[in-house]
Amino acid sequence: MAFTVNPIKFGTDGWRGVIAADFTFERVATLAPLAAQVLAENYGDTAANRTVIVGYDRRFMAEDFAQVTAESLQEAGFDVLLSECFAPTPAFSWAAKAHNALGAIVMTASHNPAAYLGLKVKSAFGGSVPPEITEQIEAMIGKTLPQAEKPGKITKFDPWINYCQGLQQKVNITAIKEAIASDKLKVYVDVMHGAAATGLERLLGCPVEEINSDRDPLFGGGAPEPLPKYLPDFFRAIKEGAKQHPDSIRVGLVFDGDSDRIAGADAAGNFLSSQVLIPILIEHLAQRKGFTGEIVKTVSGSDLIPRLAKLYGRSVYETPIGYKYIGDRMLNAEVMIGGEESGGIGYGTHIPERDALLSALYILEAVVESGEDLGAIYARLQQKTNFTAHYDRIDLPLASMDVRSKLLERLKNDTPQEVAGMTVVDCLDVDGYKFRMDENTWLLIRFSGTEPVLRLYCQATTMPEVRKILEWARDWANSV
């Protein structure tokens, strides 16, 4: 039986491939030194040494791939700080900056299904490398580095310690702990068998209700992505909590496989995507914490974001989808918060990296200081801005890359002028095709940067309208 091995290509955040088919020890051992060399060429003048951070999440054999990565870097003459345990990807970005290293290489496939593993490259400044860096890495593939004069050294370290200390200084940990201890606040956390496991307890210094905290490389048969279809245990726990703690403010938090994406739930167990969480965080950071700077959103972000920005006198900067674009903006402007629809949220007072655990701390702080449930906060913000809209997204697997090409050609040459019976009044093609039908209604059709998947995003005034538009988009895609 013949297998097709896909070329090494970096998507919106790193290179990912199927374990044993695309993602092999040999390819990783070849790629890692090339990536480190590119980091050295771009950040060597600012880094204090030729050290590269190497980390991993809880995926199948992730620690073994990290060891191979470390050894290949050592042989190429780089010093390595190798994690002695799994940790969130943001912890390794934090370590890269804290240790003044060239950058970090992290073994993770983030939210992808169990068959995948991946390699993320982080910069010396503590965020995803920009597109021009990944292009340089891809251009190096097939080349041979000169023999190192002497091998580097490998040193083990615990990434959690310094990372947790840094995050704890950014919020009122004491107030959150007191609310939990007095049963005013009940926190339910689904770590989806991923690298956020034990994270909130480490940060808060008190127990929370953690779900799916065991290591399961199959992720319960799903994927470690914070979407409702993968969260039955989470919703069940919150509903049980309503019976056991009826007088508490109940907050649900969900982290993806490497803890750089977040979602949540309110006291009633309603799922809250980052389309809801980002507005809540904007209010908290602008009003209670007094943070300054602009708000960065992607083209798939909620229309509530610019309305809140206007309310608080903030400017909005819009980027293509992919947190690296938000991170790049953070390096060139004063940013209060930047976030993407898929759950990646970051802060200008932090490293230019999405960080789900820091987002969780800010969310808990917002609840404690406001005394309100997340659902109530969001409803109040909608009322304040006279904005009512619903949102959903579906991911449509594609049969082949040929189908992808045909769909892309059709979008370019036969761009829809109507969507679900509604006239398109504007089309934005900065990242995919975003069709706007009226002030509150839009559909975004976009191809995944890491998987053979078509992503369909929609906002409309009612949820039935959202479903109708998404069904239209699904039928449109399947007609090719």
Q: Which of 1-5, 239-243, 289-293, 453-457 has the highest mean pLDDT?
A: 289-293
Is residue 85 over pLDDT 60?
Answer: yes
Torsion of CA 148, 150, 156, 160, to 10 degrees: -50
Structural domains of the chain sorted by starting position, each given as residue range(s) with its CATH number in brackets: 15-159 (3.40.120.10), 170-385 (3.40.120.10), 390-478 (3.30.310.50)
pLDDT, tens digit, for every residue of 247-261? 999 999 999 999 999
**Is 71 in a helix, a strand, or coil?**
helix
pTM attached to this predicted model: 0.94
Percent of the chain with pLDDT over 70: 99
Average pLDDT over residues 356-373: 98
Average pLDDT over residues 69-76: 98
3-state secondary structure 403-424: HHHHHHHHHHHCCCCEECCEEC
Q: Are 56 and 92 in contact (CB under 8 A)?
A: no
What is the predicted pLDDT for the residue at 46? 84
d(CA 164, CA 410): 49
More confident residue, 308 or 450: 308
Nearest partner of 302 among 338, 276, 330, judged by Cα: 276
Any idea what the Cα angle at residue 452 is, between residues 466 and 402, rounded to 5°? Answer: 105
Nearest partner of 258 among 112, 122, 131, judged by Cα: 112
Q: What is the DSSP string of 231-244?
A: -HHHHHHHHHHHHH
What is the predicted pLDDT for the residue at 451? 67
pLDDT grade for 1, boundaries at 50, 70 and 90: very low
Cβ neighbour number for residue 100 with a 10 Å cutoff: 13
pLDDT, tens digit, for every residue of 315-351? 999 999 888 889 989 999 999 999 999 899 999 999 9
pLDDT grade for 239, boundaries at 50, 70 and 90: very high
Mean pLDDT, the chain, as a whole number?
94
Q: Are 276 and 282 in contact (CB under 8 A)?
A: no
Nearest partner of 319 among 411, 428, 426, 396, judged by Cα: 428
The 3-state DSSP composition of the chain as helix, strand, coil percent (nearest 5) reads: 40, 25, 40
Which residues, 6 or more positions from 45, have their beta carbon under 8 angstroms from its beta carbon?
none
Burial of 98 (0-12, 13-18, 19+ CB in 10 A): middle
pLDDT, tens digit, for every residue of 178-194? 999 999 999 999 999 99
> Quick one: how far is CA 456 from the chain centroid?
18
